[in-house]
A and B are shown apart, each in its own frame.
Chain A
């Protein structure tokens, strides 16, 4: 069963980190990535996203496309990246989500992937 771990966190958090803090976070992600890629069959894909300031939102209404700057709604936490994993059940997905370094300051939303 595939699950998407959507990593949310306040982007402002990164501004509060000094060079050492940022280095520690990156190192934590490095260790997590190593662990999850080492688990047979689990890791599918992952990406880190650029800040929402770089985002563009597109909608098509009545056949007309409109692109706008930024995300749809202002929220406290922004989507910052994701992991796509393949595990047995939700408990296993939760166990991986708990290990994502951003879980300590943000939140990880687990969404089952619609499998055909």
Chain B
């Protein structure tokens, strides 16, 4: 057994099973920090033992049992100080040595991490940290905050879970419609942070996309009867299928209509469409299924000119019915422009923006700029590009807008 092979085996457990193991440990001790410490300790032991003794037949079981024993040690040591630990201990000691894992442990964990009593940033950070095993500095880099800020955010959230006793459970069916959207939003945000952000480390951003899809797969497996969960998975797969076509080697952005469609990942498209079709059969459409359907219409067009814009506009209409939002109305305006020309698009944009909610939204101004440009209304186009440039934060988009402005 080489050190290298042992190290890889430990890394594989960390990468593939961290969330699963930590979730079952939390079920036992009802304490995030205790569970995480026990698991980290077990992984550290694996790193020293496995090179010497060889990798066990069942690496995950070895790590789980070692972590559980660590947990028992800590509880024994601390039981004098904590009534709760004293209560938990006999339960943990009595249980069979082979620790059971319940498939819904990770589901409990994600519902706890995404509890409405925690703020949005904390939900995302907690999910990445505990369920995906991403470290503080990785998450901090992905969200462009200081390590210390993120570490504090995590500590505060974990303390609140413990002190306010946020339950560690999958909510009952009656609460699911209220709680599930928050979980889906976190998974979407994890993916989108990797997909949309242009600053930051490329590798970490790719990790976030991979983790987002992994979480969506996990949810789809554990909540098979919730069509929106499958809709989300389909949406992520279909968006991710374009990853190699959406930026140039220098990092600059390529618009959907200019992308080299031969670079689209056909396997991801096939899977995304299959997942979506199965979801739609339930007859309970929702925002994620509809957005996935829009992505599927794009994916099915071999050339931009073959895009079924009528279908896309219809899907946006349904999305607006379900989920009225100025951003959706703006996206719909793009479909209108493709069908009826930029003049009609402009009218639809202005209607979408009429309540002022989008005044500081980059894409409002970049969309208007594009329509003005196509209508040869140069002065208005210039103004709109300048407005968009004043608001844009993404480097690749800034570069794109500047180029368009210069070309006027």
Spell out A's residues near B (CB within 8 Å): 1, 88-91, 94, 110, 112
B163 interface residue (CB < 8 Å to A): yes
Query: What is the CA–CA distance of A110 and B165 in the complex, to the nearest angstrom?
Result: 12
For residue B161, which residue of chain A has the nearest CB? A90
B117 interface residue (CB < 8 Å to A): yes
Query: Is the beta-carbon distance between A112 and B165 smaller than 8 angstroms?
Result: yes
For residue A3, which residue of chain B has the nearest CB? B164
Query: What is the CA–CA distance of A91 and B167 in the complex, to the nearest angstrom?
Result: 7
Query: Is the beta-carbon distance between B175 and A91 smaller than 8 angstroms?
Result: yes
Spell out B's residues near A (CB within 8 Å): 115, 117, 163-167, 171, 175
Query: Is the beta-carbon distance between A112 and B164 smaller than 8 angstroms?
Result: yes
User: Within the complex, what minimum Cβ distance (angstroms) separates B313 from chain A?
Assistant: 39
Query: What is the CA–CA distance of A115 and B115 in the complex, to the nearest angstrom?
Result: 23
Query: Is the beta-carbon distance between B117 and A94 smaller than 8 angstroms?
Result: yes
A residues less than 8 Å from B165 (CB atoms): 1, 88-90, 112
A residues less than 8 Å from B175 (CB atoms): 91
B residues less than 8 Å from A94 (CB atoms): 117
Highest count of chain B CB atoms <10 Å: which of A89, A91, A112: A91
User: Within the complex, what minimum Cβ distance (angstroms) separates A15 from chain B?
Assistant: 32
For residue B163, which residue of chain A has the nearest CB? A112
Query: What is the CA–CA distance of A88 and B165 in the complex, to the nearest angstrom?
Result: 8
Task: For the complex of A and B, list the 3 residue pairs with the smallest distance between their C-beta atoms, beginning with the closest.
Answer: A89-B167, A89-B165, A112-B164
For residue A92, which residue of chain B has the nearest CB? B167
Query: Is the beta-carbon distance between B164 and A90 smaller than 8 angstroms?
Result: yes
Report 18 cross-chain contacts, Cβ distance below 8 Å, ordered by A residue.
A88-B165, A88-B167, A89-B165, A89-B167, A90-B115, A90-B117, A90-B164, A90-B165, A90-B167, A91-B166, A91-B167, A91-B171, A91-B175, A94-B117, A110-B164, A112-B163, A112-B164, A112-B165
User: Within the complex, what minimum Cβ distance (angstroms) separates A39 from chain B?
Assistant: 17
Query: What is the CA–CA distance of A91 and B115 in the complex, to the nearest angstrom?
Result: 9
User: Within the complex, what minimum Cβ distance (angstroms) separates B15 from chain A?
Assistant: 32
Query: What is the CA–CA distance of A89 and B115 in the complex, to the nearest angstrom?
Result: 13
For residue B168, which residue of chain A has the nearest CB? A89
User: Within the complex, what minimum Cβ distance (angstroms) separates B226 from chain A?
Assistant: 20
Query: Is the beta-carbon distance between A89 and B163 smaller than 8 angstroms?
Result: no
Query: What is the CA–CA distance of A88 and B164 in the complex, to the nearest angstrom?
Result: 11
User: Within the complex, what minimum Cβ distance (angstroms) separates B402 from chain A?
Assistant: 45
Query: What is the CA–CA distance of A94 and B166 in the complex, to the nearest angstrom?
Result: 10
B residues less than 8 Å from A91 (CB atoms): 166-167, 171, 175
B residues less than 8 Å from A88 (CB atoms): 165, 167
For residue A89, which residue of chain B has the nearest CB? B167
A residues less than 8 Å from B171 (CB atoms): 91
User: Within the complex, what minimum Cβ distance (angstroms) separates A56 from chain B?
Assistant: 31
User: Within the complex, what minimum Cβ distance (angstroms) separates A10 from chain B?
Assistant: 24
User: Within the complex, what minimum Cβ distance (angstroms) separates A94 from chain B?
Assistant: 7
Query: What is the CA–CA distance of A89 and B175 in the complex, to the nearest angstrom?
Result: 15
For residue B167, which residue of chain A has the nearest CB? A89
A residues less than 8 Å from B167 (CB atoms): 88-91
User: Within the complex, what minimum Cβ distance (angstroms) separates B111 from chain A?
Assistant: 10
User: Within the complex, what minimum Cβ distance (angstroms) separates A62 from chain B?
Assistant: 33
Query: What is the CA–CA distance of A94 and B163 in the complex, to the nearest angstrom?
Result: 15
User: Within the complex, what minimum Cβ distance (angstroms) separates B112 from chain A?
Assistant: 10
Query: What is the CA–CA distance of A112 and B166 in the complex, to the nearest angstrom?
Result: 11
Query: What is the CA–CA distance of A94 and B171 in the complex, to the nearest angstrom?
Result: 13
User: Within the complex, what minimum Cβ distance (angstroms) separates A85 from chain B?
Assistant: 13
B residues less than 8 Å from A90 (CB atoms): 115, 117, 164-167
Query: What is the CA–CA distance of A105 and B167 in the complex, to the nearest angstrom?
Result: 28
Query: What is the CA–CA distance of A94 and B167 in the complex, to the nearest angstrom?
Result: 12
B residues less than 8 Å from A89 (CB atoms): 165-167
B residues less than 8 Å from A1 (CB atoms): 165
For residue A112, which residue of chain B has the nearest CB? B164
Known: A90-B164, A90-B166, A91-B166. 9 other contacts (CB 8 A): A1-B165, A89-B167, A90-B165, A90-B167, A91-B167, A91-B171, A91-B175, A94-B117, A110-B164
